[in-house]
Amino acid sequence: MGIEPGLVGKALMTVGEADTALALRSGEVPVLGTPRLVALCEEAACAAVAGRLEGGHTTVGSGVQFHHLAPTPVGEEVTAEATLEKVEGRRLSFTVSANDGAGLVGAGRMTRVVVETEPFLKRARRES
């Protein structure tokens, strides 16, 4: 695999009504919901290793430590960045952060694991 520490990925979104805590049922306010922000950071982590995995492989999320620090209103643009900090076998550890026009929105760490896609999907379908 061509995966080494230092790889960086980015993901960008504009907050829509469907991205709010209210719509996601993770809160009662119409601002960017934490689950959607975490998903944006995972998208950035995936982008960091895009095109570097062997054929038939992908990464799956296995751990998240995240702090959502500030509210972001509908219509605001948010950019997430993930940096690959450590590679331990199949385990990839990232630091992540997200910013909007006012500054830092969230930050944390994520772990993803490299898996063979087909065997992984068979396990998910409980096939043998």
Which CATH number do you get for residue 26? 3.10.129.10
Active site residue 57: no
Q: Which of 59, 68, 81, 111 is catalytic?
A: 68
Radius of gyration of the chain from its Cα atoms, rounded to whole angstroms: 16
Domain that holds residue 71: 8-124
At residue 125, the pLDDT reads: 79
CB 13 within 8 A of CB 20: no
> Does residue 3 fall inside a structural domain?
no
> Does residue 2 fall inside a structural domain?
no
Active site residue 68: yes
> Does residue 48 fall inside a structural domain?
yes
**How many structural domains compose the chain?**
1
pLDDT, averaged per 10 consecutive residues of the chain (128 residues), comes to 91 98 97 98 98 94 98 98 97 98 98 96 78
> Does residue 1 fall inside a structural domain?
no
> Does residue 21 fall inside a structural domain?
yes
> Does residue 100 fall inside a structural domain?
yes
Active site residue 34: yes
**The dihedral formed by the CA atoms of 118, 81, 66 and 99, expressed in degrees to the nearest 10:** -140
- Dump strand ranges (E) for the chain: 8-14, 57-68, 77-88, 91-100, 103-116
